Amino acid sequence: MGSYELPDRSRRLLAALVREYTETGEPVASQVLARRSGLGVSSATIRTLLAQLEAEGYVHQPHTSAGRLPTDRGYRVFVDMLLDGRKRTRPSAGVETRLREWAERSLAVEDLLASASHLVSRAVHHVGFALCGTPAAVLQRIEFVPLGGSRVLVVVISRGRQITQKVIDAGEDVSADDLVHAGNYLNREFAGLPLPDVREAVLARLEQERTLYDQLLARALRLARSTLAEMPRQHTFYAEGAASLLPAHAQPGVSLTTLRTLLEMMEEKERMVHLLNQYIDGPGLTVVIGAEHAAPGLRPFSLIASTAVDGTAVRTVGVIGPTRMHYSRAIALVDETTQAVSRVLRDSQ
């Protein structure tokens, strides 16, 4: 049952439960909800509604005598209600003023986004992050030119006639004819794909190399792997506030192993960028809650991100924190900050 299929009274009760649990961190009793939900019904009716919500997977009870806690599914209903009823506002003066002060010290986009990640982390006491990138270059053609011995000049032509040249060591002497065949094969198979997708496809095929009877095709894939391994990255990632994940700040149930997994993912920025690219497919807000994460190590956490597209630039500001977070505050903050970043950059040009 989705959030729109829940009766209005049940959704309002669930929202009251989430707000109360967010504030206290304790299971919420029916008597408390009877007083604070604003539904004007008895504790007995509240208990009946809670039992229905529990049966449908929106709340759970740690033990028989305890109150209820929201599940990830319950948080999703609450967040959907927030997003449906939310009106987008102009960035607050405080957010934009601070960003403009930082911009006066440095006009570099990278410095401004690093400042944005710091700002949101300090404001909500979670990990703040910022991502800056451009759409991945699309392969139009790749050519190999022999330089003698095992050295090869690689020319990668991307859509829009962007040309990247690189000298690689093929590890063996390769004839001009073999290089032509290698280029033709790679162009036939991968032209029109973004370069990161080409890289992944090449690696996947190399894992099955033992099934390739044609040594020329295997050599072509190895040449492509060497070419794409160090191609310029398209994204820059910043994160701040890892201390907010330490046990003193973390919610119950978030183990040290889980925290270590997230910290490692943040340090290996390419992994984090790849994950964010899976979630973000255009401008606007993205909220991923608990079990909705593709990466098991992130399932004790929620991610909130706001993305703005300006020409060919894509900029995202967001937070990662425990599923028990102030979603309304965090959503407003990351959206305001993303808008403010865009305005400051436009005014600086």
Out of 141-145, 196-200, 222-226, 278-282, give the one with best mean pLDDT.
141-145
pLDDT band with cut points at 50, 70 and 90 for residue 311:
low
Q: Answer yes or no: is pLDDT of 96 > 50.
A: yes
Q: Minimum mean pLDDT among 81-90, 175-184, 304-313: which range? A: 81-90
What was the pLDDT predicted at 316?
Answer: 92
What was the pLDDT predicted at 248?
Answer: 47
pLDDT 10s digits, 243-263: 666 654 555 555 666 677 777
Instruction: Please state, for a pLDDT cut of 70, what percent of the chain lies above it.
Output: 85
What was the pLDDT predicted at 270?
Answer: 72
User: What is the average pLDDT value for the chain, to the nearest integer?
Assistant: 83
Q: Answer yes or no: is pLDDT of 148 > 90.
A: no
Average pLDDT over every residue of 29-37:
91
What was the pLDDT predicted at 92?
Answer: 61
Instruction: Please state, for a pLDDT cut of 90, what percent of the chain lies above it.
Output: 30
pLDDT 10s digits, 209-254: 555 556 777 888 888 888 877 665 566 788 888 766 665 455 555 5
Predicted model pTM? 0.70
Average pLDDT over every residue of 311-317:
79
What is the side-by-side order of every strand in the sheet holding 235-240? 235-240, 127-133, 313-322, 301-310, 284-289
Side-chain half-sphere exposure of 256, counting CA atoms within 13 A: 1
pLDDT band with cut points at 50, 70 and 90 for residue 71:
very high
Q: What angle do CA 304, 305, 311 make, to 5 degrees?
A: 170
Give the C-alpha separation, 52 to 77, whole Å: 15
Q: What is the largest CA-CA distance in the chain?
A: 86
> Which has more confidence, 221 or 319?
319
Give the C-alpha separation, 279 to 284, whole Å: 12
Contacts for 2 with CB less than 8 Å, ≥ 6 apart: none
What was the pLDDT predicted at 70?
Answer: 97
Average pLDDT over every residue of 282-288:
91
Q: Answer yes or no: is pLDDT of 191 > 80.
A: yes
> Which has more confidence, 76 or 234?
76
Give the C-alpha separation, 305 to 321, whole Å: 12
> Which has more confidence, 27 or 89?
27
Domains detected in the chain: 3-84 (1.10.10.10), 93-135+235-348 (3.30.450.40), 139-228 (3.30.390)
Out of 11-20, 195-204, 232-241, 256-265, give the one with best mean pLDDT.
11-20
Side-chain half-sphere exposure of 224, counting CA atoms within 13 A: 31
- CA of 185: how far to CAs of 51, 151, 215, in Å? 62, 20, 12
What was the pLDDT predicted at 136?
Answer: 65
